Amino acid sequence: MTLLQVENLSVGYKTKKGILHAVNDISFTLEQGRSLGFVGESGCGKTTIGMTLMGLLPENAVITQGAIHFNGSNLLHFKDEQWRNFRGKGISMVFQAAMNALNPVIRVDEQIMEAIEVHSPDIPKTEIYKQVKNLFNMVQISEDRLRDYPHQYSGGMKQRAIIAMALACNPKLIIADEPTTALDVIVQDQILQEIKKIKKALNTSVIFISHDIAVVADVCEDICVMYGGQIVEKGKREEVFKSPRHPYTKTLLASYLSLDSDKNIKVLEIQKPPDLITLTGGCRFADSCKHKSKNCENHTPGWVDLSPTHQAFCFEDILNKDNND
Amino acid sequence: MIEDNTQPAPIIELSGVTKEYRTKATFFSKGYTNVMAMDNISLTLQRGEIFGLVGQSGSGKTTLGRLLLKLESPTKGIMKFNGKPINDLKGKDLKTYRSKVQMIFQDPYQSLNPHLSIAETILEPLIVNKIGDIHSRKEKVIETLDTVSLAPGKEYYDRFPHQLSGGQRQRVAIARAIVLDPEFIVADEPTSMLDATIAIQLFKLLQQIRKKYNMTFLFITHNLAAAQFLCDRIAVIHDGVIVETGPTDRVIQQPEHPYTKKLIQAQPKFNF
């Protein structure tokens, strides 16, 4: 069952110099129980997508076109009241800065109870407390830490508590925006395994946003690679990471350092990121692309099907050329 | 650790360095407790090498960096720089020491003063240490900007930090650190806030600088892969104790300590 369908979504921010096109003509679908990852560098628009889905865009943002169908309703037609009921229940979000996402003067259990109380005022308190205990069991925080204040938690525990809070109202979709960026590798590994386990147990869909491709590759079944506000390659994880076709995806994979990396890896230098205020018609990655031709500067690339599930936003001749070297 | 006797004198020598922090006694607590941030650490850094210090948050790796910069003093142990003890440096000697030892911080969004232009940021160390005159300083700044690949230097001279990207800011921070031609630089997670493509460019830059000026680096990180890419030797630190030291490739390919193995296991990999 298709849970989320985003069609031709474009989001811009009003600035003094004009509208900054942060997200440009993006389409993707997400099935119930599947996980989708967005990877790209800072400023490529991945967080803007998450914020649009949550209805949390700042004042100066404008949605210039597109539709977001979630479970039969178009989210872009929601009024404030509807958004309030929807957040947490339909989609909930795990934010980047776990350290700052909890209220420091309220005990952790009360913060999670509050989330449930707001959405279902009829449930008695004892029942809610039972649910909170279950949530804590699920994210593996021991029950005697329920009454603690956030400052008594370590970074990893805070992030677990945030995940528990995101799960509190049984959302159909969880958006995790760089949930492990502030954590070190060992704790990161634990949290990622936790997210995978929960997704499997509850059949929740997950959208995972990160700049770290290995983290996304660990959690997500489907991948969208973003550059300059556009999706440039999408497909199954195996397709995108084992046989990348778009020159940007290749660059991104080449610059990823793992323990198996060759010390002499040649790094393609990425030039300045594209100017998203004054858009030119051509490919946005052209300046950094080693296969750039006249065509790339003057014509907008199109989607090229590489397999039924794997597509790249480029020109066919370049994709073929790149595949041969 | 067995040192090769034919090697020249080390630039940094730590023996038995211990740092304890004492938590404050508050109204509710039963009194103070001692937190051992670093426990009996002995290390030597050879001139011209990039030495990696790898560990989790809270393992004491930043404390070691702060001690070497003389921002804090050790509770016990001896620290030597070029063979001379630096534990009790004061006044003029301390100032001279600090001009030879520089720091690159983690977050380029916080480590640069937003009110100072790029030129003023990099000029400041020269002015403080009374090096050169107005003209030679300006030349030196432009030369340093070129070194960190913010070229042409003139173009960046009058800009402000908010006009630069994260990677460019970190280059400015590196320029500020190398402008005094220091002998030793402590880089504390310099790329953890940056994208992979930018991070690797900065690593290449650090390698170039090391080669050009024969500088010594202490690279503090939690990312083993980054340490493997950049460092000649690494030390793995856990709960204030160095559990394993050696040439980078040896430590990563044949880890001896269980904690090193755990750290390697937790590195994100493409296995699906």
Give me the DSSP letters along A207-237: EEEES-HHHHHHH-SEEEEEETTEEEEEEEH
Q: What is the pLDDT of residue B21?
A: 86
Of B2-6, B29-33, B189-193, least confident by mean pLDDT is B2-6
Among A119, A141, A168, the domain-final residue is A168
Q: Do A227 and A164 belong together in one domain? A: no
Q: What is the pLDDT of residue A235?
A: 95
Most confident of A281-285, B24-28, B134-138: B134-138
> For A137, phi and psi rounded to 5 degrees?
-60, -40
Which residues of chain B does A46 touch, with a Cβ-Cβ cutoff of 8 Å? none
Which residues of chain B does A208 touch, with a Cβ-Cβ cutoff of 8 Å? none
Q: Which helix (H) or strand (E) holds A39?
A: strand A35-39
Among A114, A143, A168, the domain-final residue is A168
Expressed as residue numbers, the domain containing A147 is 98-168
Per-residue model confidence as pLDDT tens digits over B106-160: 888 889 999 999 999 999 999 999 998 999 999 999 999 999 988 788 888 899 9
Alpha helices in A120-261 (DSSP H): 125-138, 155-167, 185-202, 213-219, 237-242, 247-254
B81-110 average pLDDT score? 90
A41-66 average pLDDT score? 91
- Is the model's pLDDT at A273 over the cut of 80? no
* 3-class DSSP assignment, residue A18: strand
Q: Do A291 and A185 belong together in one domain? A: yes
Q: Give whole-number Cα distances, A179 to A94, B109, B114, in Å.
A: 6, 20, 28
- Which one of B165, B263, B270 has the shortest CB-CB distance to A186? B263
- Is the model's pLDDT at B185 over the cut of 70? yes
- Is the model's pLDDT at B3 over the cut of 60? no
Q: Do A105 and A159 belong together in one domain? A: yes
Q: What are the extents of the domains in chain B?
A: 12-266
Of A59-68, A181-190, A191-200, A309-318, least confident by mean pLDDT is A181-190
Most confident of A137-146, A270-279, B3-12: A137-146
Distance CA A41, CA A122 (A): 44
Q: What is the pLDDT of residue B59?
A: 86
Q: Return the CATH superfamily for domain B12-266.
A: P-loop containing nucleotide triphosphate hydrolases (3.40.50.300)
- Portion of chain A with pLDDT greater than 70, in percent: 95
State the total domains in chain A. 2
Q: Is B268 on the interface with A (CB under 8 A)?
A: yes
Q: Do A69 and A141 belong together in one domain? A: no
Q: What is the pLDDT of residue A322?
A: 58
Q: Do A208 and A104 belong together in one domain? A: no
- Is the model's pLDDT at B17 over the cut of 90? yes
Is the Cβ–Cβ distance between B40 and B17 less than 8 Å?
yes
Q: Do A38 and A102 belong together in one domain? A: no
Q: Do A246 and A175 belong together in one domain? A: yes
- Is the model's pLDDT at B4 over the cut of 60? no
Q: For residue A29, what is the domain's CATH number?
A: 3.40.50.300
> Are A41 and B201 inside 8 Å of each other by CB?
no
Nearest to B167 by CA among B189, B195, B146, B147: B195
> What distance lies between CA B183 and its chain's CA centroid?
12
- Is the model's pLDDT at B33 over the cut of 80? no
- Which one of A184, A215, A256 has the shortest CB-CB distance to B222? A184
- Is the model's pLDDT at B30 over the cut of 70? no
- Is the model's pLDDT at A265 over the cut of 80? no
How many Cβ atoms sit within 10 Å of the Cβ of residue B248?
21
Which residues of chain B does A41 touch, with a Cβ-Cβ cutoff of 8 Å? 195-198
> Are B229 and A214 inside 8 Å of each other by CB?
no
Q: What is the pLDDT of residue A101?
A: 85
Q: Do A81 and A205 belong together in one domain? A: yes
Smallest Cα distance from A127 to chain B, Å: 34
Query: Residue B183: what residue type?
Result: E
Q: Do A63 and A211 belong together in one domain? A: yes
Q: What is the pLDDT of residue A70?
A: 93
Nearest to A108 by CA among A68, A154, A65: A154
Q: Do A126 and A175 belong together in one domain? A: no
- Is the model's pLDDT at B237 over the cut of 80? yes
> Are B266 and A263 inside 8 Å of each other by CB?
no
- Is the model's pLDDT at B234 over the cut of 90? yes
Among A168, A185, A210, the domain-final residue is A168
Q: Do A6 and A139 belong together in one domain? A: no
Q: Do A300 and A179 belong together in one domain? A: yes
> Are B267 and A155 inside 8 Å of each other by CB?
no
Strands (E), chain B: 12-22, 34-45, 50-54, 76-81, 84-85, 101-104, 184-188, 216-221, 233-238, 241-247
